[in-house]
Amino acid sequence: MTDVSRICADLVAIRSENPPGRTDEAIEYIRSFLTGIGISSKVSGNADGMCNLVTTTVGKSKQLLFCGHVDVVPALDIGWTHPPFSGIIQDGYVHGRGATDMKGGCASILAACEVLVNRDHDIPATLAFVCDEETGGENGIRRLLSDGALNPCDCIIAEPTPSRHPCIGQKGLCRLDMIFNGTPAHGSLYPAVGTSAIMEAMTLLNHVRELNKKEYPVDPSLNEIIAQSSAVLGREFGIIGVRDVLKRLTFNPGVIKGGEKSNVVAQHCALELELRVPWGCSIDELISSIQAHAIHGKIVSQETHDPSITNPESPLVKITCEVVRHVYGGEVFPIVQWAASDARHLRANGFNVIEYGPGEIPTLHAINERTAVDSLEKASLVYQDIMTKYT
């Protein structure tokens, strides 16, 4: 049997932190693996080693795409039981950065393909392994899409999900870079004299806090999916109030820099604000509201993506749930989540997309990230069965 844990461990041991985002070594490992089982591929990238791989086919386009990213978020050595890039297999787990997000999923894809090839089965899917997912995908999936390297079809992204719950949708994303300008004065006279750019930014954030209290109407079927998703994600993450996270605008003032000196009323303040946008919320109206409440501020750059969802009645979702039920047993149904991934770019380009993959979700992006060997093996079985049904 293919040792999927060894593939995962090998990938974890190949450093591909983003930033800086080099993935050439990880992509070369995958290219070599695929060549070894008779699957040809094409590698593309830039001078900084940010590389992608797409398998090549002869004849008609495939009806299915399996996709995974091989870049990972950075990790310091401090606090880890095992070094973050050791790839140690111990006590039924593969340990290290990327084991869950998402080199484990990539390993399960590769293992599934090897099993099918060894059984003389056709691989009815294009495979894409990409860079740059952790910083927005400009050099990864977005580059492949703009280059016409992928044709719209059903797509499975091997991101970590709860084992019985494929993810079919994500909230939207709105990132704003803002500048606030004030009127400087002696600090001892504020607020009687002067306008503080810092306090103007705070006034806007108070408005955004009020926006967080609002719920947006959606159709009853989506409400039901959100309710089911809230229960699942609440258990997985141990978070109370997940329903509010999915139904409401959530926000994070990730970076704020301002002021010149403690005794001078601040003339300048910069704010990097990220908002996760629920279904039913208009991003255009949201931005207009923010600009209207930033009297002494302006938006200097923005990145936006609407909330997205794949039809839960689509064949892709039905087949995946059927296969997961066969492998795991128990109740299986799709969910939506708050995070962003390459799924948003693929859906915007006409793909039906779900996320389903192995991992220990509470360790995602965290110290002591790991994934269970059993989870890797079962994900590989799921991928094998899905490919078989698409053959």
221: Cα within 13 Å, side-chain hemisphere: 6
Residue 58: predicted pLDDT: 67
* CATH value at residue 293: 3.30.70.360
Q: For 185, list phi and psi in degrees, rounded to 5.
A: -160, 175
- CA dist list (Å): 275 to 102, 153, 247, 285, 289: 24, 29, 13, 13, 13
Identify the CA nearest to 94 among candidates 379, 367, 372, 361: 372
Q: Does residue 295 sit in the same domain as residue 202?
A: yes
**What is the spatial distance between Cα 3 and Cα 7, in angstroms, rounded to a whole number?**
7
Are 182 and 102 within one domain?
A: no
| Alpha-helix residue ranges (DSSP H) falling in 194-342 | 197-211, 220-237, 242-247, 283-292, 315-328
Residue at 237 is within a domain:
no
Is 103 part of a structural domain of the chain?
yes
Cα dihedral sign for 341, 346, 349, 352?
A: negative
Asked if residue 334 belongs to a domain, the reply is yes
In a domain, 161, yes or no: yes
pLDDT of residue 60: 65
Check whether residue 147 and residue 71 sit in a common domain. yes
* Cα dihedral 345, 350, 356, 358 in deg (nearest 10): -40
> Are residues 283 and 152 located together in one domain of the fold?
no
Q: Is the domain of 289 the same as that of 176?
A: yes
Stretches in the chain below the pLDDT threshold 70 = 1, 58-60
Could you tell me if residue 378 is left (phi over 0), alpha (psi between -120 and 50 degrees) or otherwise beta?
alpha
Please check whether residue 53 lies inside any domain of the structure: yes
One DSSP character per residue, 325-338 reads HHHH-S----EEES
* pLDDT number for residue 2: 75
Residues linked to residue 370 through DSSP beta bridges, in sequence order: 95
Beta-bridge partners for 277? 172
**Whether residue 209 is found in the same domain as residue 298:** yes
Please state, in angstroms and rounded to a whole number, the distance separating the CA atoms of residues 142 and 42. Answer: 16
What is the pLDDT at residue 361? 92
- Please give the single-letter amino acid code of residue 20: P
Of 305, 321, 340, which closes a domain? 305
CA atoms of 62 and 151, how far apart (whole Å): 8
Looking at the domain assignment, is residue 110 inside a domain? yes
Distance separating alpha carbons of residues 363 and 72, to the nearest angstrom: 13
Helix H or strand E encompassing 72: none
**Domain boundary pick from 305, 339, 373:** 305
Render pLDDT for 68-100 as a digit per residue (tens, 0 to 9): 999 999 999 999 999 999 999 999 999 999 999
Pairing label, strands 167-170, 308-309? antiparallel
The answer on 264 and 120 residing in a single domain is no
- Whether 25 and 138 share a structural domain: yes
pLDDT of residue 1: 53
286 and 318 in a single domain? The answer is no
For residues 131 and 50, membership in a common domain is answered with yes
Q: Are 114 and 369 in contact (CB under 8 A)?
A: no
Helix axes 197-211, 283-292, angle to 10 degrees: 140
Lookup: tokens for 121: 């089965």
List helix spans (H) across the chain.
Answer: 4-13, 24-36, 103-118, 141-146, 197-211, 220-237, 242-247, 283-292, 315-328, 343-348, 373-390
Number of domains the chain contains: 2
Check whether residue 262 and residue 345 sit in a common domain.
Answer: no
Give the CATH number for residue 366. Answer: 3.40.630.10
List, in sequence order, every residue forming a beta bridge with 354; answer none if it has no partner: 156
Quote the distance between the C-alpha of residue 35 and its chain's center: 28
Residue 350 half-sphere exposure, CB side, CA atoms within 13 Å? 8
Beta bridge partners of 335: 167
Please report whether residue 230 resides in a domain: no
- Are 263 and 159 members of one domain? no
Structural domain for 126, as ranges: 4-170+307-390
Q: What is the rounded distance in angstroms from the CA atom of residue 30 to the CA atom of residue 43?
A: 10
H helix runs in 238-310, sequence order:
242-247, 283-292
pLDDT in tens, 194-219: 999 999 999 999 999 999 999 999 99
Question: Does residue 231 sit within a domain?
Answer: no
Alpha carbons within 13 angstroms on the beta-carbon side of residue 93 total 17
CA distances to 84, 255, 368 from 94, in Å = 11, 34, 10
